[in-house]
Amino acid sequence: MNKKDPTKQFFNAEINRRDFLKTSATAVAGLYGLNYLAPNVAYAAGDVKFLTWAHFISASDKELKRQAEEFSKKTGTKVTIDLLAHLQLPSKKASEAFAKSGHDIMMCDTGDPELYKDLLSDVSDLAEELGRAHGGWYEFAKDLAIKDGKWKGIPWAINAYPLVVRTDLLKKVGASSIDTYDDLLNIGRKLKKMGHPVGLGLSHAADPSITCHCVLWAFGGKFVEADSKTIAIDSAETAKALAYMKKLFEEAMDPGVLSWDDASNNRFILSGKGSIVQNPPSIYWVAKVKEIKVDGKPLTDLLDHFIPPEGPAGRFHSGYPWILGVWAFANNIKEAKDFLRFHFSSENFNKWIIAGDGYNMPLLREFEANPIFDEDPKYRFTRKVGEYTRIQGYPGKPTKYSQIAGDLYIIPDMFAYAASGRKSIPEAIKWAEKELKLVYAGQKTAQPEKK
Amino acid sequence: MGNATGTTSLRAFLEREAFFGYVLILPAMVLLTGLVAYPFLTAINLSLSDTFIGSKGNFIGLGNFVNLMKSDIFRQTFQNSILFTVSAVAVKTVLGISLALLLNKKVRFKKFFRGAVLLPWVIPTVLSTLAWWWMFDSLYSVVNWTLVHLGICKEGPSWLSNPYLAMFVVVLVNIWRGLPFYAICILAGLVSIPEDLYEAAKTDGAGAWARFRHITLPMIRPVLAVVILFSTIFTLSDFNIVFVLTRGGPMNMTHLFGTLTYSVGITGGKIGEGAAISLFLFPFLLTVVYMQLRMTKREEF
């Protein structure tokens, strides 16, 4: 080499290509080899990983973690509880399903047992055992979890949606309780004039979905027939429900409800402006824990929970039951089931309900006797919601199509269109019918049921 | 000049530039294929099927696209996206050029201003959008508080509950966020215009507006074309702003393709249809890119 390579001059060393490749290849091989030297701790046989949502009432998660620790000490199987914000769970579930790897126990929503039915393991033995031991499951819980005759998950709990009411404001307008939807309208009208309107969300969020379904059913409407396939939303009863909501919106509600998210109704009450919303007891719990005061008085003294109102066709309640599923591709299915059995034992489950402060409503009849519902008189109604509870898609069974309809917020949108006047009531019904038919049309093209 | 005696022909072959060149770009090709080509082809495959997350789907051809055209929610989303993109890009262009012209003037603290202008672009979108959300929230809106205290209205409007106001807010935040991109890029174009063009025009008696129309605009046209092209693509596929502010509401009036895809494909699990929604724009965007690039090529000086 006559001319000195400028690179070599710069680095002041005789590095040529061959040497560089040799050293870097050895280095990479060495690092890779180290991987085999370190003990493989990550997936020791028997570790159970549990993914659930970050509970609004953090004491409930603390209790769950305590139970996990106790179980780990007793049996030697390590149980890890991972928490994730509830809005992020669907995409996490989807990615674990696609990758076929992830956690062992997974908290599932209403439609997940159907959506992931081929990927969730059969837990019929455990579910029947728990049902026999604790007084039996509610029918709607069974409907959710049993697919193709097999239990695809253990129903965990449901969140109650009572009416959350400022009793001092009720007194000011001369009322003492709210029992029917007509009561709600009459009282709400007076409250709005006082500057404390009612708030039932009409937007793309979980709470509006519940309240709109309750109103729809209470007036005799439904969006799908009992066969879970035929769209039945176009009826005089639906029109009555929409007319009611329109009146309620115009005369008693805060116009902001069209843009509410799930925390908006909490803030509405906690700020002192709102008078009545329909929400799980998280508002009451926050008021307790943060000692929030309104007009100098503790908010907890001013709030009360009432059972959801009654309409011409009956009293209805709904919620989002959580189901604990075990992935079929999980590594430690037996240990996962053992932990679930431990968690559902009378002692532990009652402790978990108490930690949830009235938020976690049991789906096994034995646990309705839990003392939390007696301790605080504000919870006297929430223990009874089970008998009125129906799942979205009633009178049909919850299917993946009812889940998609829920995720697209078709029913809240229908109510929002009618209430705000953007569409007339017949137009809003026709719109919803069209969108529902498009969602349910998938049933014909989807794969035939595997028997 | 290869090595002569004493070396194997294999090494000679390996060291040929033609072969070694490809080896060197192999990592980049692997990344491109894995992270760009594969997801794109998978998306096309999914959009032609009725797959649900977690189960195998069947091939249904253009069924998803046909269903989407029938769906009111999708048609509304399409309308929203066009309105959103056209208004945001138009305002950003006008304001961007003005801001760039201002930044080009000789003032004190010029470097500070040029840096400060970049802040909206640099701050993570989700954080800045959360701040905007608080400003327009129905209970705690700072904007309403100001309007009420200035005596303009008794109780400010519920911004995010009114379909038209919600779209206005979403476009406003997008403009606020995207303006720095325009300003800095156009500024780069402005800086390269030679001064003597302006002096010649001034001696010919051209006023400020005439100078702008006949010198500035034509000279920054290539930069403007590129900026508008990129901005259209970014704006059309925006997700963060709409998701944080309105999640597509009220009543689907601010849904964009990105947010609708998420709601249908991920939350709803109907990933075949979700992929179809997200791919709907692909032919349209391809045309936009082609037209813009042709416009850029045509500039010959």
How confident is the model over A342-396, as pLDDT tens digits? 999 888 898 888 888 878 888 888 887 887 777 778 887 777 777 788 888 888 8
CA distances from B108 to A129, B95, B103, B112, B184 (A): 79, 22, 11, 9, 18
Q: Which two tokens stand for residue B84?
A: 């959103």
B73-101 CB burial, b ≥16 within 10 A, e <16: bbebbbebbeebbebbbebbbebbbebbe
Give SS3 for A224.
strand
Plot region of A76 (φ>0 → left; ψ -120 to 50 → alpha; else → beta): left
Which residues from A are below 8 Å from B271, CB to CB?
Answer: 94
Instruction: Return all residues near A412 (Cβ < 8 A) that are at least 6 apart.
Output: A201, A202, A203, A204, A205, A208, A209, A212
Nearest CA in chain A to B3: A1
Give yes or no for residue A211 having a pLDDT over 90.
Answer: yes
Burial classification of residue B24, based on how many CB atoms lie within 10 Å of its CB (0-12 exposed, 13-18 middle, 19 or more buried): exposed
Write down the pLDDT at residue A160: 86
Go through chain A and tell me how many residues it has.
Answer: 451
Nearest CA in chain A to B133: A259
Nearest chain B Cα distance for residue A437, angstroms: 10
CB pairs under 8 A between A and B: 127
Query: Could you give the CA distance from residue A80 to residue A69 in angstroms, rounded to a whole number?
Result: 8
Contact criterion met (CB < 8 Å) for B163 and A91: no
For range A136-164, the mean pLDDT: 88
Cα Rg, chain B, nearest whole Å: 26
Query: Could you give the CA distance from residue B5 to residue A153 in angstroms, rounded to a whole number?
Result: 73
Give yes or no for residue A276 having a pLDDT over 90.
Answer: yes
Chain B interface test: which of A119, A258, A259, A273 (most B C-beta within 10 Å): A259
- A20/A332: higher pLDDT: A332
Chain B interface test: which of A19, A87, A209, A258 (most B C-beta within 10 Å): A258
Nearest chain B Cα distance for residue A366, angstroms: 34
| Banded model confidence at residue B29, pLDDT cuts 50, 70, 90 | very high
Q: What are the residue ranges spanned by the domains of chain B?
A: 71-298
What mean pLDDT value characterizes chain B?
Answer: 87
Q: Residues A133, A306: contact at Cβ < 8 Å?
A: no
Contact criterion met (CB < 8 Å) for A259 and B246: yes
A249 inside 8 A of chain B by CB: no
H-state helical runs in A124-166: 124-133, 139-145
Write down the pLDDT at residue A40: 42
Contact criterion met (CB < 8 Å) for A256 and B139: yes
CA distances from B275 to A222, A323, A443 (A): 31, 28, 19
Nearest CA in chain A to B60: A445
Nearest CA in chain B to A435: B71
Q: Are strands A48-53 and A79-84 parallel, antiparallel or unpaired?
A: parallel
Q: Are strands A276-278 and A198-199 parallel, antiparallel or unpaired?
A: parallel
**Residue ranges of E strands in A152-216:** 154-159, 163-166, 198-199
A403 inside 8 A of chain B by CB: yes
Q: Which two tokens stand for residue A345?
A: 């034992």
- How far does CA A243 lie from the centroid of its chain? 29
Q: Which two tokens stand for residue A13?
A: 């060393």
Nearest CA in chain A to B1: A1
Among A268, A416, A435, whose Cβ lies nearest the Cβ of B251?
A416
Of A82, A119, A113, nearest in space to A100 by CA: A119
Superfamily of domain B71-298: MetI-like (1.10.3720.10)
A394 inside 8 A of chain B by CB: no
Nearest chain A Cα distance for residue B6, angstroms: 16
H-state helical runs in chain B: 9-14, 17-32, 38-47, 63-70, 72-104, 110-117, 119-122, 125-136, 142-149, 163-191, 195-203, 208-211, 217-236, 240-245, 257-261, 271-279, 282-298
Give yes or no for residue A89 having a pLDDT over 50.
Answer: yes
Contact criterion met (CB < 8 Å) for B52 and A115: yes
The amino acid occupying position B52 is: F
Write down the pLDDT at residue B13: 67
Which residue matches tokens 């109650």?
A: A160
Query: Could you give the CA distance from residue A162 to residue A180 in angstroms, rounded to a whole number?
Result: 13
Q: Residues B87, B270: contact at Cβ < 8 Å?
A: no
pLDDT digits (tens, 9 = 90+) for A226-273: 888 888 899 999 999 999 999 999 999 988 899 888 888 999 999 889
Contact criterion met (CB < 8 Å) for B58 and A447: yes
For range B24-51, the mean pLDDT: 92
For range A164-171, the mean pLDDT: 91
- How far does CA B87 lie from the centroid of its chain? 13
Query: Could you give the CA distance from residue A444 to residue B103 in angstroms, rounded to a whole number?
Result: 61
Among A90, A413, A434, whose Cβ lies nearest the Cβ of B251?
A413
Write down the pLDDT at residue A238: 94
Contact criterion met (CB < 8 Å) for A259 and B252: no
Write down the pLDDT at residue A21: 75
Q: What is the 3-state secondary structure (H, E, C) of B150-200?
A: CCCCCCCCCHHHCHHHHHHHHHHHHHHHHHHHHHHHHHHHHHCCCHHHHHH
pTM: 0.80
Give yes or no for residue A43 having a pLDDT over 50.
Answer: no
Query: Could you give the CA distance from residue B92 to residue A293 in angstroms, rounded to a whole number?
Result: 46
Write down the pLDDT at residue B282: 86
Of A60, A84, A48, A68, nearest in space to A361 by CA: A60
Q: How far apart are the first and last CA of chain B?
A: 43
What mean pLDDT value characterizes chain A?
Answer: 85
Instruction: Return all residues near A4 (Cβ < 8 A) that are at least 6 apart.
Output: none
Instruction: Return all residues near A185 (Cβ < 8 A) that are at least 6 apart.
Output: A244, A247, A248, A251, A252
Q: Residues A433, A229: contact at Cβ < 8 Å?
A: no
Query: Could you give the CA distance from residue A358 to residue A293 in angstroms, rounded to a whole number?
Result: 21
* Per-residue DSSP letter, A108: E
Q: Residues A314, A217: contact at Cβ < 8 Å?
A: yes
Write down the pLDDT at residue A125: 92
- Residue A294 forms beta bridges with which residues? A297
CATH 3.40.190.10 in chain A, residue ranges: 48-160+319-383, 163-316+391-445
Which residues from A are below 8 Å from B52, CB to CB?
Answer: 115, 400, 446
Nearest chain A Cα distance for residue B49, angstroms: 10
Write down the pLDDT at residue A443: 59
Contact criterion met (CB < 8 Å) for B267 and A407: yes
- DSSP characters for A300-363? HHHEEEEPPPEETTEE-B----EEEEEBTT-S-HHHHHHHHHHHTSHHHHHHHHHHTTT-EEES
Report residue A380: phi and psi, to 5°: -65, -25
A251 inside 8 A of chain B by CB: no
Give SS3 for B221.
helix
Of A175, A212, A178, nearest in space to A306 by CA: A178
Among B52, B138, B271, whose Cβ lies nearest the Cβ of A256?
B138
Write down the pLDDT at residue B256: 93
Contact criterion met (CB < 8 Å) for B50 and A258: no
Is there a cis peptide before residue A395, judged by omega within 30 degrees of 0?
Answer: yes
The amino acid occupying position A199 is: G
Nearest chain A Cα distance for residue B235, angstroms: 23
A416 inside 8 A of chain B by CB: yes
Q: Residues A158, A361: contact at Cβ < 8 Å?
A: yes
Nearest chain A Cα distance for residue B157, angstroms: 9
Plot region of B154 (φ>0 → left; ψ -120 to 50 → alpha; else → beta): alpha
- The CATH number given to A163-316+391-445 is 3.40.190.10
What kind of fold does domain A48-160+319-383 have according to CATH? D-Maltodextrin-Binding Protein; domain 2 (3.40.190)
Q: Residues A96, A327: contact at Cβ < 8 Å?
A: yes
Write down the pLDDT at residue A165: 92
Contact criterion met (CB < 8 Å) for B163 and A267: no
Query: Could you give the CA distance from residue A379 to residue A372 in angstroms, rounded to a whole number?
Result: 8
* Per-residue DSSP letter, A162: P
Give yes or no for residue A320 having a pLDDT over 90.
Answer: no
Nearest chain A Cα distance for residue B183, angstroms: 33
Report residue B139: phi and psi, to 5°: -90, -45
- Residue A336 forms beta bridges with which residues? none
Contact criterion met (CB < 8 Å) for B73 and A435: yes
* Per-residue DSSP letter, A85: -
- A31/B26: higher pLDDT: B26
Query: Could you give the CA distance from residue A160 to residue A177 in angstroms, rounded to a whole number?
Result: 19
Contact criterion met (CB < 8 Å) for B247 and A268: no
Contact criterion met (CB < 8 Å) for B139 and A271: yes
B270 inside 8 A of chain A by CB: yes
Among B60, B247, B248, whose Cβ lies nearest the Cβ of A445?
B60
Which residues from A are below 8 Å from B252, CB to CB?
Answer: 413
Query: Could you give the CA distance from residue B69 to residue A256 in angstroms, rounded to a whole number?
Result: 31
For range A93-119, the mean pLDDT: 85
Burial classification of residue A415, based on how many CB atoms lie within 10 Å of its CB (0-12 exposed, 13-18 middle, 19 or more buried): buried
